[in-house]
Amino acid sequence: MIRLQQRPLFGFFLNPFGTTARAIELKGDHLLVTGRSMPAALSLADIGEAPALRKGVLGTTLSLQVSANRDVILRGTDHADACAFADTVQTAWVSFNTGAFDREAQRFDRLHTAVSGLARPGRYPAACRLAPVLNDARSLDATLLSKLKAEAIGTDRAERVTLVRKFVADPRAARATAISVFVAAELDRWEQFFDTVESKPLTAEQRLSVVVDEDATLVLAGAGSGKTSVITAKAAYLVKAGIRKPDEILLLAFAKNAAAEMSERVKARSGEPIVARTFHALAYDIIGAVEGSKPALADHATDDAAFSALIKQILKDLVHTMSAVSRAIIDWFSHFLVEPKTEWDFKTKHEFYTHMEQQDLRTLQGEKVKSYEELQIANWLYENGVAYEYEPVYEPKLPETGRRDYQPDFRLTESGVYIEHFGVRRQKMADGTEKLTTAPFVNRDDYLASMAWKREVHATHESTMIETYSYERQEGRLLTGLAEKIAPHAKLSPRPVDTIYDRVIEMKQVDTFSQLLGTFLRKFKSGGYSLEHCESASDKMKLGKRGRAFLAVFGPVFDEYQKRLAGRIDFEDMILRAAHYVETGRYLSPFRHILVDEFQDISQSRAKLVKALKGQHPDVRIFAVGDDWQSIFRFAGSDIHLMRKFGAEFGGTFDGEAGIHSTVDLGRTFRSVDQIAFAARTFVLRNPAQIQKQIVPAGIATEPAIKIVTTAKHEGVKALSDVLAALSSKLDPAGETSSVLLLARYRYLEPDLRDLRRRFARLTLSFKTIHASKGLEADHVVLLNADSGRVGFPSQIVDDPLLALVSPDEEAFQNAEERRVMYVAMTRARRTLTILASNARPSAFVSELLKDPAYGVSQPSGSDQDVHECGECGGRLLRVQGQDGRTWYRCAHSEQCGNFLPACSGCGVGLPRRVEGTLQSKCSCGKVHPTCPDCANGWLVERTGRHSTFLGCVRFPTCLGKAQLARKPSGRGVTGKRRR
């Protein structure tokens, strides 16, 4: 113990109020300070530098730095005493600092080695490797390093401490620099390996993906970019570089054949037997290891056709055995099979008609109706055994009105009573009265006049007309109201439920519904959802009665499905049970690197298993290779959001930042020429949720690579033959052959391959559904039947909004998955892609490809004719050949619109169109006609009536537009003075 204090007299003059220290005493590792406003004790750890002395007239002043802006000062001391005290304190201070450093020397040396090693890292500085270093460094910095003084510990130690503290201050920058240094050196070190590991040297992007070894690494592998080469090289590299032993590497594939191919390639490249497994094989092995034996697998687990057949059988059995459930099932097919949209959900006739055609509104009786509300009425009549005709010709012959034959919506066969359904809703006015309104694209005055005319017809001819209205459905009483109105005219005789269901089967409506149920069931189990969750989600998403109707069927189907497993397990059970064993530690994983192929197809349950394996050890890495542009297996449970949120789901944590991962874009395709590669990229990226990727094509096209051929009804076979003949004719006569892959959205569209192969022997022809074609390629691809419709392409079944109930995030973009299916189809082609589509109902995808010049698509055959818009609905007018041999123009929405125009009387081919700002319609041949005053499309031609000649619309009797015929004295021609 040593003490230094002010000399009494000097101290009074220098410190009369006691604001500085009066005495300081060194006691062990502390300085005891005496003074009115001074702290009682200071640790030597608080001293920033050695004591400083300053000799003055009134004695020596000693200063101790406690912090950057605060010193302890003792004035008026004896100089000799001050020097002795300062020396003693400095010795104690140095000893304290060096002692503290020495006590943590081993810990510090480990940290210093790890941090200094970042200058030339021997392993990839992954977050999981550096996070423990950072945590330890921060802890040591807080307790020791930040308190050590460079002067006390010496220059060498101070420099080492500074290096560690610099890492603590900015660890992200240090890690980023280390990664950059490592990658550059590693790419150079393994150059020969990358040149020879595959049959062709790896690209720069492929090499990068191999050496990057983050906690989670996502390799974006576009179509034909060589993803299998990347996985093979990665596994071989991990072994050859001594990073992992073969049994520490887990290779996961989705299909047996892919797993077998991967195992074979990895063994050939690495010389080590690293066996690739499917998720199901892995899960089965985990269950077997924990339980001692493997449970029996359900027969349908490995057979999609058997799974679909089981769902259909369950539906049928429920109809026959459970009355409450059978009613729910029939209600679904009668009223909720399609999305219940009405005219009020659309702004234009064209949009409404297009939607109706996509829905294929077919009644239980078999006819196609024009609106969802008509469908409800027709199915109610059928269910209740009320015989009816749809749109019959009104029986009393009406006098000549110029109109088409009157066809009421329904006629009850036995009573002859008619039903007219009017598309009007009620609107409350400010004065309390009600006003009838029509859909946005319907002329209200004309529609109300039509209603009045129909009432007048029935009154005149004393026929009975029952009226129903759109506002009744809006108010939830359309069918109850119909029952009341029809009661006096027809006796209800409800058909047995099983009879109705047999009719549903006959119409093949069960097939599409069972597909929806199967997809929903797999996602339901995979994601661990409950019916309560789905019901709540349905309410939030405002799916209304349709959502509730679906769940009323799904609940019993799911319960029955679970019962029929009878102790066996399906794939969802298998993977979830395995994940549970891993999560709870009953299974100890040996794996430190998990390599997953086709990652875009991963499901919630598979992701759960992967995360459980990763969570068992702090240094496990996930290496995922996939292409979100090719995620097309939602029906099998895949969830694209797991790839889009890859970092959040699988990434590591470093410096307080979660979701640490790395993404490598392979950025090229070895398959398609530029026109196809770029068009496919543009097409799929219309959905902004898809991950951006760069594409480098395989070559430059020297002629149009994408062609669209539109065909008339029943001419698809001839069109395909013409396309194949054209491809065959371009082959070198010396025996050259070419591969042609015929693709379709559905298997039933497969053409007669035997006949085609016989006729086009030099073409290697094959057929696949688009889903089955993944991984395949051909010189030429022909896509069949790219038409619109409920079972068209895009399919209106696959993207049913109900599937959002079992998806973490709904895909808001319309036809999101079907757009990816189209991308897969496009990218199977190396040299050319030909799309066959209906000229009347082309797919929305075909229309998009044709409209946007960015796609560079060659116009369809016969497209030299102009594309004309239907003036009645905004659709397209198609050129058709009439039975009389004349050319006509018919609206593509033939069942809804019915607009029909003759070709120009001058050339017999063209279509006169209105000249803006004039009263004339002009054909491309130059012939001019006066326009019709009543309709948007027609023009006037000379007609002869009972009493005179006049100008009438070419659309007569649909349009009654007229004009008077006047002749000029000069005889130069005919002019029309219009009248209505």
| Strands (DSSP E) found in 137-265 | 216-220, 249-253
- Where is the binding site for ATP, in residues? 221-228
Q: Read off the pLDDT of residues 750-769 as tens digits, 9 standing for 90 and up.
A: 999 999 999 999 999 999 99
Find the radius of gyration of the CA atoms of the chain. 41
User: For the purposes of burial, counting CB atoms within 10 Å of the CB of 217, is it exposed (0-12), middle (13-18) or buried (19 or more)?
Assistant: buried
Where do you find CATH 2.30.29.30 in the chain? 2-102
* 70-77/657-660 β-pairing: unpaired
Distance CA 523, CA 966 (A): 73
Domain 674-855: CATH class, spelled out:
alpha beta
116: left (phi > 0), else alpha (psi -120 to 50), else beta? alpha
Confidence (pLDDT) at 18: 53
Asked if the model's pLDDT at residue 892 lies above 80, the reply is yes
Q: 236 and 269 in contact (C-beta within 8 Å)? A: yes
Asked if the model's pLDDT at residue 15 lies above 70, the reply is no
Q: Angle at which helices 227-240 and 256-270 pack, to 10 degrees?
A: 50
- Pick the more confident residue, 263 or 485: 485
pLDDT band for position 640 (cuts 50, 70, 90): confident
Q: Read off the pLDDT of residues 909-934 as tens digits, 9 standing for 90 and up.
A: 899 999 988 889 999 899 999 999 88
Confidence (pLDDT) at 980: 36
Distance CA 89, CA 518 (A): 81
Confidence (pLDDT) at 863: 47
Q: Angle at which helices 155-169 and 105-116 pack, to 10 degrees?
A: 60
- Residues in a beta bridge with 890: 878, 900
pLDDT band for position 131 (cuts 50, 70, 90): very high
Range of lowest pLDDT (153-157, 223-227, 240-244, 696-700): 223-227
pLDDT band for position 257 (cuts 50, 70, 90): confident
Mean pLDDT, all residues of the chain: 88
Tokens standing for 265? Answer: 């390639």
Distance CA 232, CA 220 (A): 16
Residue 459 DSSP code = H
Confidence (pLDDT) at 102: 87
Tokens standing for 83? Answer: 């020097």
Distance CA 875, CA 897 (A): 9
**Percent of the chain whose predicted confidence (pLDDT) is above 70:** 94
pLDDT band for position 866 (cuts 50, 70, 90): low
Q: 101 and 148 in contact (C-beta within 8 Å)? A: yes
Confidence (pLDDT) at 795: 84
Residue of 352, 163, 249 whose CA lies nearest to 590 = 249
| 222-231, 586-595, 725-734 — most confident range | 586-595
What's the mean pLDDT in 232-237?
93
Q: Which amino acid is at 189?
A: R
pLDDT band for position 966 (cuts 50, 70, 90): low
Q: 33 and 24 in contact (C-beta within 8 Å)? A: yes
Asked if the model's pLDDT at residue 403 lies above 70, the reply is no
Q: Tell me: cis bond preceding 733? Omega within 30 of 0 counts.
A: no
Q: 383 and 492 in contact (C-beta within 8 Å)? A: no
pLDDT band for position 451 (cuts 50, 70, 90): very high
Confidence (pLDDT) at 37: 62
Is CATH 3.40.50.300 what the domain over 190-295+571-665 is classified as, yes or no? Answer: yes
| CB contact set of 567 (below 8 Å; sequence gap of 6+) | 295, 296
Distance CA 724, CA 731 (A): 11
User: For the purposes of burial, counting CB atoms within 10 Å of the CB of 193, is it exposed (0-12), middle (13-18) or buried (19 or more)?
Assistant: middle
Where do you find CATH 3.40.50.300 in the chain? 190-295+571-665, 674-855
Distance CA 600, CA 611 (A): 16
Residue 271 DSSP code = S
CA angle 717, 722, 728 (to 5 degrees): 125
- Residues in a beta bridge with 96: none
What's the mean pLDDT in 341-350?
89
Confidence (pLDDT) at 68: 63
Confidence (pLDDT) at 111: 94
- In three-state secondary structure terms, 204 is helix
Q: Tell me: cis bond preceding 201? Omega within 30 of 0 counts.
A: no
Confidence (pLDDT) at 401: 58
Q: 59 and 10 in contact (C-beta within 8 Å)? A: yes
Asked if the model's pLDDT at residue 706 lies above 70, the reply is yes
Asked if the model's pLDDT at residue 979 lies above 80, the reply is no
Q: Read off the pLDDT of residues 327-345 as tens digits, 9 standing for 90 and up.
A: 999 999 988 888 788 889 9
- Pick the more confident residue, 402 or 907: 907
- Pick the more confident residue, 876 or 836: 836
Beta carbons within 10 angstroms of residue 576's beta carbon: 20
Confidence (pLDDT) at 638: 82
Tokens standing for 735? Answer: 């025996």
- Where is the binding site, in residues? 221-228
Asked if the model's pLDDT at residue 270 lies above 80, the reply is no
Domain 2-102: CATH class, spelled out:
mainly beta
| Strands (DSSP E) found in 456-614 | 465-469, 593-596
- The structure tokens 């004349």 sit at 886
* 900-902/30-34 β-pairing: unpaired
Q: Which amino acid is at 598?
A: E
Confidence (pLDDT) at 859: 67
Tokens standing for 367? Answer: 């006819």
Order of strands across the sheet that contains 2-5: 2-5, 23-27, 30-34, 41-43
What's the mean pLDDT in 271-293?
92
Distance CA 198, CA 682 (A): 31
What is the pTM assigned to this prediction? 0.79
Confidence (pLDDT) at 971: 43
Asked if the model's pLDDT at residue 970 lies above 50, the reply is no
Residue of 685, 668, 694, 679 whose CA lies nearest to 825 = 679
pLDDT band for position 800 (cuts 50, 70, 90): confident
Distance CA 207, CA 217 (A): 13
- Pick the more confident residue, 512 or 165: 165
- The structure tokens 């996602």 sit at 523
- Pick the more confident residue, 869 or 863: 869
